[in-house]
Structure 1
Amino acid sequence: AATQPWLLMYDATCQAAHEVAEKIQERNRCQRNGESATKLNVAIRSSLQSLKERIDQLKDLLLRAVSTHQITQLEGDRRQNLVDDLLTRHRQLQASYKNEGPEPDVIRSSLMTGGVKRGVTNPWLLEEPEETRGLGFDDIRQQQRRIIQEQDAGLDALSSIISRQKQMGQEIGNELDEQNEIIDDLTSLVENTDDKLRNQTRHVKLVDKKSTSCGRKLPP
């Protein structure tokens, strides 16, 4: 698979950091042996400046790639972590050059192991995700558009399901209202029927009482 230009530039920048570390280590050996290190100091200063420019260029290209959706946000975050590591290594190399930091071989070891905190080997040699490996910028852009279209389709389907559930809820609510109205009507009908039964019962009792009274007045 073809390697993307950014990754090629990143590998070259990491190699440049290794070379700076080796020059500083050589400079330190010369100083310990009492040899002149003037030329090495000039070369180191120039290399450190070039290294910083390379890192800044990586940052600019990465920002452009993320903003134009040439790479995924996840890949952008991964590459940003790599750039941050390079910036840290550059500061360490500057401190070592000024004899204010650890020996360059320690820095080189940290570079090769990616630092203890990361727990990975050669972070800049990590392979790209399978989804973007070997793809050019246009291909990645098309892939991003396809992913967005699929996400939009999923959101549309979810919205349709929610709308149907809302409609079902409204229909259930309407049916409950109708059932409540029927229950209210039945309650009123029962109450009316109960009132009529009570009235009929009182009427029957009254007629029965009058009938009994009339029967007592009849001659034996």
Structure 2
Amino acid sequence: MASDTWLAEYDACARLGQTLMEKITERNKHNRTSSQYTKLSAQIRVSMKQFNQSLNKLKQTLVRASSSYHITQREVERRQMMMDNLTTKEKQIDQAFKNEASQSRSSLVGAGASGGRDPWGVRDDPEEYEGMDNQSIAQQQKTIIQEQDRGLDSLSKVIARQKQMAVDIGNEVDGQNELIDDIGDHMDQTKDRLIKETRHIRIVDRKSATCGYWMAIILIFIAIIVILIVPYNGKGA
């Protein structure tokens, strides 16, 4: 069961390597300054990392299987040869991805000099360098770098403008916050004044009611005195 798992993982790793070479070929058809070239390069880097991890896992699994005698020595040797092939293919992938300039120089010496056929079915030389000498290649690379620098300068200016806009927006927000704080302070002051005036009105109401009570008491007292005095005067007459 473990043997079948190892073989399945090996097939998956080999297919990933084949896909990697196909992506590199597809990438080399595009201009190096194009967005498609950059996108494919990023995808290839991720796949290359996955390929390396899968290869290391296969090696570790094979070492454990051979040390525990789960498979025969002959099978170990056969699988080791398979691993060597994958390791060689990994080097080819790395060279195809990173060494485009050296591959171009090899094509200038003569495409048919090796006489051998790429077992992966992928050309070694990018088509954009075909038929160019070293000086032309260097000039083209210099032009590409200059274009990339101009693109980076433009991007830097855009970022600088966006940063300034963000600063302006931040300053405006700070100003609005200060205005809101001022309004809040005025509202608090107005609220305090309303509470104070309400207390004054209640005090005046209480005083007014008290004065009315006293006036009523005085009038009643005067009425009582008048009632007592009038009959007495009548009797005397």
TM-score category of the 2 structures, normalised to the smaller one: 0.3 to 0.5
Q: TM-score, normalised by structure 2?
A: 0.42
Larger Rg: 2
Indicate the structure with greater helix content.
2
Q: TM-score, normalised by structure 1?
A: 0.45
Greater length-normalized contact order (CA 8 Å, ≥ 6 residues apart) = 1
